[in-house]
Amino acid sequence: MKKLINDPNAVVGEALEGMALAHEGMILVHRDPDFITRADAPVRGKVALVSGGGSGHEPMHGGFVGRGMLDAACPGAVFTSPTPDQMVAATMAVDGGAGVLHIVKNYTGDVLNFEMAADLAREAGIDVHAVVIDDDVAVQDSLYTAGRRGVGATILAEKICGGAAEAGMRLAQVAELCRSVNGAARSMGLALSACTVPHAGTPSFALGADEMEFGIGIHGEPGRRTIKLAPADEIAAMLMEPILADLPFRRGDDILLFVNGMGGTPLIELYIMVRAARAIAVKHGLSVSRHLVGSYITSLEMAGVSITALRLDAAMRGYWDAPVVTPALRWGA
Amino acid sequence: MKKLINDPNAVVGEALEGMALAHEGMILVHRDPDFITRADAPVRGKVALVSGGGSGHEPMHGGFVGRGMLDAACPGAVFTSPTPDQMVAATMAVDGGAGVLHIVKNYTGDVLNFEMAADLAREAGIDVHAVVIDDDVAVQDSLYTAGRRGVGATILAEKICGGAAEAGMRLAQVAELCRSVNGAARSMGLALSACTVPHAGTPSFALGADEMEFGIGIHGEPGRRTIKLAPADEIAAMLMEPILADLPFRRGDDILLFVNGMGGTPLIELYIMVRAARAIAVKHGLSVSRHLVGSYITSLEMAGVSITALRLDAAMRGYWDAPVVTPALRWGA
């Protein structure tokens, strides 16, 4: 296992300490229980957004904490749900009196723990709504999920709902917007290589030198099937066709196209995938008015790509474009 | 070779097409000869900044084109200098009448071609200054260089000089500032794995399962030596000690600490390296008032890290903080 780490059991804590140093003034890192808040939390009168999940997917979620996006994020151990006490502490810390939205990726542990945390926070008098994200069209159930997995749409929902909350939208409406984003987004991913969880020490699955795992999730769990290497244009078609057919996206729809690297894939390859995916979208009669390209929801050092398409409406476009100041996404301010 | 590509010979062109689509309105991609300009170039009366180099180091340099940073970038083939005709065309396209600064990494091909391009542009009546960046303390000469290689300081110089040019600084002073940044910055890198140039098809060097290449450059060229795997804190010390001793950095200096991923290294590991490097800087008596963390100057899918330290003065801090709107760096606007 070749990693820039010290102790496999200290990976998350040491990375949090590094984040705190690198982004001082933007975020605050709290320990025991571990959570990250925007530096100026709680913001009085604003709906607060809290997300979280296993570590190893950086910059998700801690990298999306800041003005215009998340108020707090709870990092679990690598590929392991955070615990309810983290979620409760984060929820209490960022509630500004207007309630808190939990944005939860659909993994069994995350869903159960966020449900428990929401109950506890409500008992403490905080108004909590929760939305579960399940945009991955690859598989119906998986090692980690009943139902579809939550992947790339999570980030889009966090940004768009963050913009809405910043603009003064009330809790029930922010939750409804979050459900709308999830309902209008579809994703699919593919891996060229496996990844190694630090405390496991060995790769989470095996791929031959000429093989790819198609329909991969973000934990190295099996996808739809193992297939032979293919050119980027064919890979883009394999990912885009099930995405476009599932919603379905229709001629004339305007979309946000999110081409995401899994952690070990260089940017030059992601741009080749953008070119290919965009051509398929245009051929399908879609316009592509927004793009996001980079490694934003990752699986440690896994090489691979996922694509997310989100059908935009005017409100979503506006909240997407709104200012955001976080470690990983920053514009307009 | 597992890559998200179509034709190994079409990698650069297809990636440029993807960039143009993903960042419409921010940059323009010109083909034959290939170069990238900010969308609103030329900016009348502003000193223009042009850089360039081999592809495979993305987001450098094309990702740094935009308001507050570069006016143009010239991408060569993978790990190969761009040609003088690209540099001349870019220089002519962005000159706004106040002259053009060429920011050149110290590789033999880049230096010769930029010199030829500067001569040609001057014959066409454009005032051109050039600054060569050579911040890598690892080796004196290399396969690609006479003298030290130009690495991470390039990005810091592009940002700081871009801020100064945007603020109205004249050409000779921007060039002097660029030399000051280069003179106050030192870098060193380390690889955990090699990378594969697409048209070569095989890794550029070999590393055992328990080995790292210390003092690596950005082309897979040999470094100082091959060494055994070590914990992140020890790696940080191996990189920071020669950096700090070389300038030398002195107690009380304020620095920008840039922890850079080589392309295949996940962000969670870079944050662990930030924690380690920052502790060494503080122990050395330095204050660290600015950080940059991410994969900004890469070697395709190479796993590894480089560290750059820049001794800041008040002017550099101000131009670093100034607004920037590029594909890869964006803040304050």
Of the residues B2, B3, B4, B14, the best mutation for testing chain A's interface (the one with the most A CB atoms within 10 Å of its CB) is B4
Question: What pLDDT is stored for residue B143 in this prediction?
Answer: 72
pLDDT digits (tens, 9 = 90+) for B253-307: 999 999 999 999 999 999 999 999 999 999 999 999 999 999 999 999 999 999 9
* A2, part of any domain: no
Facing A271 at nearest CB: one of B22, B266, B273: B22
In 3-state terms chain B splits into helix, strand, coil percentages (rounded to 5) of 35, 25, 40
B44 by Cβ neighbours in 10 Å (0-12 / 13-18 / 19+) ranks as exposed
* CA–CA gap between residue A256 and residue B292 (Å, rounded): 28
pLDDT digits (tens, 9 = 90+) for A207-240: 999 999 999 989 888 788 999 999 999 999 999 9
Q: Which runs of E-coded beta strand occur in A95-240?
A: 100-105, 128-133, 185-191, 211-214, 225-228
Which CATH number does the domain housing residue A47 bear? 3.40.50.10440
pLDDT for A104 beyond 80: yes
Chain B: nearest CA to A100, how far in angstroms? 27
Facing A272 at nearest CB: one of B15, B63, B272: B15
Contact (CB<8Å) B21/A278: yes
Facing B264 at nearest CB: one of A59, A301, A333: A301
* A1, part of any domain: no
pLDDT digits (tens, 9 = 90+) for B208-217: 999 999 999 8
Question: What pLDDT is stored for residue A143 in this prediction?
Answer: 72
Domain count across chain A: 2
* CA–CA gap between residue A274 and residue A283 (Å, rounded): 14
Question: What pLDDT is stored for residue A222 in this prediction?
Answer: 76
Helices and strands (H, E) in chain A, number of each type: 8, 14
Contact (CB<8Å) A266/B17: no
Same domain, B178 and B197: no
A209 by Cβ neighbours in 10 Å (0-12 / 13-18 / 19+) ranks as exposed
Q: Which of A36, A32, A46 is nearest to A16 (CA)?
A: A36
Same domain, A114 and A249: no
Q: Over range B83-109, report the average pLDDT.
A: 98
Same domain, B57 and B177: yes
Partners of B28 in the β-ladder:
B37
pLDDT digits (tens, 9 = 90+) for A154-164: 999 999 999 99
* CA–CA gap between residue B221 and residue B213 (Å, rounded): 10
Omega within 30 of 0 (cis) for the link into A203: no
Which residue of chain A comes nearest to B193, CA vs CA? A2
Same domain, A151 and A67: yes
* A99, part of any domain: yes
Same domain, A124 and A71: yes
Same domain, B179 and B325: yes
Q: Which residues of B are catalytic?
A: 57, 219
Classified as helix, coil or strand, A136 is strand
* CA–CA gap between residue B257 and residue A322 (Å, rounded): 30
* B25, part of any domain: yes
* B211, part of any domain: yes
* A200, part of any domain: yes
Contact (CB<8Å) B268/A15: yes
Which CATH number does the domain housing residue A256 bear? 3.30.1180.20
Which residue of chain B comes nearest to A290, CA vs CA? B22
ipTM greater than cut 0.90: yes
* CA–CA gap between residue A274 and residue B17 (Å, rounded): 9
* CA–CA gap between residue A69 and residue A38 (Å, rounded): 9
Question: What pLDDT is stored for residue B140 in this prediction?
Answer: 81
Question: What pLDDT is stored for residue B141 in this prediction?
Answer: 77
CB B262 within 8 A of CB B303: yes
Chain B: nearest CA to A127, how far in angstroms? 33
For chain B, the average pLDDT equals 96
Q: How sure is the predictor about A140, in pLDDT bands with cuts at 50, 70 and 90? A: confident
Residue percentage of chain A with pLDDT more than 90? 94
Contacts of B303 in chain A (CB under 8 A): 2, 264, 301
Question: What pLDDT is stored for residue A20 in this prediction?
Answer: 98
For chain A, the average pLDDT equals 96
Same domain, A219 and A147: no
Structure tokens at B98: 């106040």
Facing A267 at nearest CB: one of B58, B192, B235: B58
* CA–CA gap between residue B7 and residue A284 (Å, rounded): 24
Cβ–Cβ contacts within 10 Å for residue B170, how many?
13
Question: What pLDDT is stored for residue B139 in this prediction?
Answer: 84
Task: Name, in order, each residue with C-beta under 8 angstroms of B265's C-beta and a sequence gap of 6 or more.
Answer: A4, A264, A301, B192, B295, B303, B304, B305
Largest CA distance in chain A: 56
Upper half-sphere CA count for residue A172 (Cβ side, 13 Å): 0
Largest CA distance in chain B: 56
Contacts of B58 in chain A (CB under 8 A): 266-268, 271
Same domain, B107 and B203: no
Question: What pLDDT is stored for residue A144 in this prediction?
Answer: 72
Residue percentage of chain B with pLDDT more than 90? 94
* A304, part of any domain: yes
pLDDT digits (tens, 9 = 90+) for B120-168: 999 999 999 999 999 999 988 777 778 999 999 999 999 999 999 999 9
CB B133 within 8 A of CB B182: yes
Contacts of A295 in chain B (CB under 8 A): 267, 295
Q: Which of A320, A287, A293, A290 is nearest to A305 (CA)?
A: A293
Question: What pLDDT is stored for residue A112 in this prediction?
Answer: 98
* CA–CA gap between residue A18 and residue B274 (Å, rounded): 5
Contacts of B278 in chain A (CB under 8 A): 18, 21
Same domain, B58 and B176: yes
Same domain, B172 and B259: no
Contact (CB<8Å) A267/B11: no
Same domain, B83 and B170: yes
pLDDT digits (tens, 9 = 90+) for A171-213: 999 999 999 999 999 999 999 999 999 999 999 888 999 999 9
Q: Over range A246-263, report the average pLDDT.
A: 97
Q: A111 to each of A76, A115, A137, B174, how far by Cα in Å?
A: 13, 6, 19, 54
Contact (CB<8Å) A266/B263: yes
Helix ranges (H only) for chain B are: 11-22, 84-94, 108-123, 153-166, 171-183, 232-246, 267-283, 314-321
Task: Name, in order, each residue with C-beta under 8 angstroms of A150's C-beta and a sequence gap of 6 or more.
Answer: A104, A105, A106, A107, A132, A133, A134, A135, A136
Contacts of A9 in chain B (CB under 8 A): none
Facing B233 at nearest CB: one of A6, A259, A333: A6
Domain that holds residue B191: 185-313
* B2, part of any domain: no
Q: Which residues of A are catalytic?
A: 57, 219
Which residue of chain A comes nearest to B234, CA vs CA? A6
* CA–CA gap between residue B228 and residue B244 (Å, rounded): 23
Same domain, B140 and B58: yes
pLDDT digits (tens, 9 = 90+) for A52-90: 999 999 999 999 999 999 999 999 999 999 999 999 999
